[in-house]
Amino acid sequence: MKKILVTTLGVALVAGLAWATPEEDRLAFIDYHKKRFPNVAVEDYVNGVYAINPPAYQQWLQIEEFPPYELAMAEGKELFETPFANGKTYADCFPNGGIGIRQNYPYFDAETGQVKTIELEINECRERNGEKPFKYSKGKMAAISAYMAFTSRGEKLNVVIPDDPRALAAYEDGKEYYYSKRGQLNFSCADCHVASSGMMIRADMLSPALGHPTHFPVYRSKWDDMGTLHRRFGGCNKQVRATPLPAQSEEYRNLEYFLTYMSNGMEVNGPGARK
C-alpha cells in the first residue's frame, strides 16, 4: 500500500501511515481540525471558511438571505422535471426518483470497478435516454446537481468504502492525490487546506479541508457563476501552476471519494455561495 508522508505538513495524521484504514484516516482528520481550531464545532465546517472567520460569516449570512444560486437551482429543478424526448426523466435513472440522495455520493460501483459521482450519473442518464451529455463543470450540469443537492439538505454524508480491494485502491489513489505536491509551485491540496488552513493568501483566508464537499455545487463571486466540485479541483490545479485534469477524470473522482469520506457524518448544505 502506498505510503503518504504528511510530516512535512507538521501534522501527525494517522492518514499518513501506510496501513491506516479509511475510518482511522477520517477520525485523525477530524481530530487534527479540532486541535487546529478548538473553538469551532465539527458540524460548523459545512460552512467552509466562514466557520473559522467570524466577520466573513456575518457577511455570508446576509448573502444567504438572497442567495445567488437560487436562479440556477430553479433552472435545475425545471431541467430535472422536464421529460426527455423518449418521455422519461432523470427520476427514472436514480434511486428514490433522484430526490434526497446526494449524501450517498460518490460511491464505488462494483459493476464498473469505478467511483461514480452524481454528475457522472446525470450524464450517463442522459446518454441512456438518447440525449447529448452536458459539460461537467458548470452550466446546466451545475444547475441540476445544485437542485439535487438542495433536496438532500440536512442529510448526513454517507460515503461507503465496501469490502472490495478496488474500492480501497480508489480511495488510496484519492488520498495520494490530495497529499502529493504538483505544479511549478510544488503545492499539494493539503498544503493549503490542511497545513495552512486559516492563513491568508493575498486577501483571502484559506478554508479548512473538513467539510469541503458538503456545499457543492457553489456559486462563486469570482466566477459570477455556478460550478461543480471538479471545476474547483481544476481551479486549484491552475493556481499552483499544474495542468488541470478533465472534470470527471478517474483521478478527480477518486479525489472526491477520499475527500467526501473525510467529511462523512456531516450535513449536506449545498448549493452554497462562496467568494
Residues 217, 221: Cα–Cα separation, whole Å: 13
Tell me what the mean pLDDT of segment 65-93 comes to: 97
The reply to whether 43 and 169 lie within a common domain is yes
Structural domain includes residue 253: yes
DSSP 186-202: TB-HHIIIIITTTSEET
Is residue 2 in some structural domain? no
Position 254 pLDDT exceeds 90? yes
Domain's final residue, options 150, 176, 208: 150
Spatial contact of 107 and 115, defined as CB atoms under 8 Å apart = yes
**CATH code, domain carrying 101:** 1.10.760.10
pLDDT in tens, 116-137: 999 999 999 999 999 999 999 9
pLDDT band at 203 (very low <50, low <70, confident <90, very high): confident
Residue 270 and residue 220 share a domain? yes
Rounded to whole angstroms, the maximal C-alpha distance in the chain is 56
Query: DSSP letters of 130-176?
Result: T-PPPPSSSHHHHHHHHHHHHTTTTPBP-----S-HHHHHHHHHHHH
Between residues 9 and 72, the one the model is more confident about: 72
Average pLDDT in the 194-214 region? 95
Q: What is the mean pLDDT of residues 146-175?
A: 98
Look up the pTM and report it: 0.93
Q: What is the pLDDT of residue 9?
A: 41
Residues forming a β-bridge with 114: 109
Give yes or no: residues 170 and 254 share one domain: yes
Active centre residues (catalytic)? 236
Domain that holds residue 56: 7-67+162-274
Residue 187 falls inside a structural domain? yes
> Is there a single domain that holds both residue 78 and residue 91?
yes
pLDDT at 7 over 60: no
- Residue 251 shares a structural domain with residue 188: yes
Asked if pLDDT for residue 16 goes beyond 70, the answer is no
To 5 degrees, how large is the angle CA 187–CA 192–CA 194? 120
Report the mean per-residue pLDDT for the chain. Answer: 93
- Which residue bears the cell 436562479? 71
Do 186 and 126 belong to one domain? Answer: no
Instruction: Grade residue 18 by pLDDT with cuts at 50, 70 and 90.
Output: low
Q: How many domains does the chain have?
A: 2
- Asked whether residue 155 is domain-assigned, the answer is no
- Whole-angstrom Cα distance, residue 227 to residue 255? 17
